[in-house]
DNA sequence: TTTGAAATGGATTCGGC
DNA sequence: GCCGAATCCATTTCAAA
């Protein structure tokens, strides 16, 4: 199931997940392989969807969303239907950027990017207006100490 | 402090954070402005660091890191030194992709991308070998329901 | 000072070997 | 895997508003 990745593939992935604006040429030179090789590997990694997409990362503070909040959700309703309602509600709210179902005590965790604590309430109201939630607890980030989209290879 | 962003800037940011591989030409056409205008706006957004970087997003499952864990940390040591030791330790561990200091009961939360629960233990041991931690609780994601780097504009 | 049209040069794409 | 042609695209220049 997992695509085979040799050291060259991994080096290319490492390069592109760190900086996707660099030219294939410069990667080829750094890895001591031909441009053509890099190009073919990248194309393969894209068709296999190892590379999901290329995106620009935007500074959340510069666009007026300095606050990150984590919200833990517990439910007393473990039906499929409730779960898919919650997922649909979350997907409709762009401030919620991550959402996971958890093992254990807390059922779900989500992360939201917001302007302020008042803005948290606005998003929270949006969420609970769409789906019945049993128990919510929010934690606000005082300081972002690390954030990266780079995965270890 | 916040850069002024007009609707064209926001539309360009929205386009690039959704797909940075599209040409400036196609964005220009879609927004009904000239290529030149888009190019200048992008350059300005880059020099102002509203656009932080361009990256390739990699499928964590395809590279053998299917598990996401959230780790909540409480400390009894609130010194500056301990905090900076923790941050240094976290920065040295590539499996830890996000790390925040929180307001409230839990002092820190971090997110890690790992191969398995056994792999969680390996990373956890690395962390506690570098810094004394009072209380840790980990939650494992059973299901990733939403993940995006796109911020609302 | 801002805009768009057009030219340049560099990077990507993809065939053939 | 390597070369090279064709294409595409970012970047610069320049003229006009």
Nearest to B51 among A56, A110, A143 (CB): A56
CA(B48)–C1'(D14) in Å? 27
CA-based nearest residue in chain A for residue B93: A152
Cβ distance of B87 and A145 shorter than 8 Å = yes
Task: For residue A137, give how far its alpha carbon lies from the nearest alpha carbon of chain B (Å).
Answer: 11
Q: Which residues of chain B have pLDDT under 70?
A: none
Q: Which residues of chain A have pLDDT under 70?
A: none
Cβ distance of A97 and B147 shorter than 8 Å = yes
Where do the structural domains in chain A lie, given as residue ranges? 7-47, 61-140
Residue B36 Cβ < 7 Å to strand C = yes
Cβ distance of B143 and A104 shorter than 8 Å = no
To the nearest 10 degrees (0 to 180), the angle between helices B7-18 and B35-47 is: 80
The helix or strand, by DSSP H or E, that contains position B113, with its residue range, turns out to be: strand B108-114
Q: Looking at beta carbons, which pairs linking B125-129 to residues 24 or more positions away fall under 8 Å?
A: B126/B89, B126/B93, B127/B89, B127/B90, B127/B93, B127/B96
Residues of chain A with Cβ-Cβ distance to B48 below 8 Å are: 62
Residues of chain B with Cβ-Cβ distance to A151 below 8 Å are: 58, 60, 63, 65, 94, 97, 113
Residue B25 Cβ < 7 Å to strand D = yes
Q: Which CATH number among 3.90.209.20, 3.40.50.1260, 3.90.1640.10, 1.10.10.10 corresponds to the domain A7-47?
A: 1.10.10.10
- At residue B1, the pLDDT reads 79
Q: Which residues contact A110 (CB under 8 A, 6 or more apart)?
A: A70, A71, A73, A90, A96, A98, A99, A100, B146
Q: Which CATH number among 2.60.40.10, 3.90.940.20, 2.40.10.10, 3.30.70.920 corresponds to the domain A61-140?
A: 3.30.70.920
Burial of A24-59, coded b for 16+ CB within 10 Å and e otherwise, reads beebbeebeeeeeebeebbeebeeeebbebbbbbbb
- Interatomic CA distance for residues A68 and A89, integer angstroms: 19
- Interatomic CA distance for residues A47 and A55, integer angstroms: 17
- Interatomic CA distance for residues B125 and B102, integer angstroms: 23
CA-based nearest residue in chain B for residue A10: B63
Measured torsion, CA atoms of residues B64, B69, B74, B79, in degrees rounded to the nearest 10? 40
Determine the distance from the C-alpha atom of residue B53 to the mean position of all C-alpha atoms in its chain, rounded to a whole number. Answer: 12
């Amino acid at each position: 199931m997992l695509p085979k990745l040799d050291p060259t593939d991994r080096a290319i992935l490492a390069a592109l997940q760190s900086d996707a604006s660099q030219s294939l040429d410069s990667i080829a030179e750094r890895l001591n392989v031909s441009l053509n090789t890099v190009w073919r590997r990248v194309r393969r990694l894209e068709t296999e969807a190892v590379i999901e997409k290329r995106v620009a990362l935007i500074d959340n503070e510069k666009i007026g969303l300095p606050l990150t909040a984590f919200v833990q959700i517990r439910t007393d309703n473990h039906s499929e239907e409730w779960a898919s309602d919650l997922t649909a509600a979350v997907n409709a709210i762009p401030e919620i950027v991550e959402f996971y179902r958890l093992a254990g005590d807390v059922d779900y965790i989500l992360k939201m990017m917001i302007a302020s604590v008042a803005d948290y309430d606005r998003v929270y109201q949006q969420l609970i207006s769409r789906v019945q939630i049993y128990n919510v607890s929010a934690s606000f980030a005082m300081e972002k100490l690390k954030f990266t989209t780079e995965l270890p290879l």
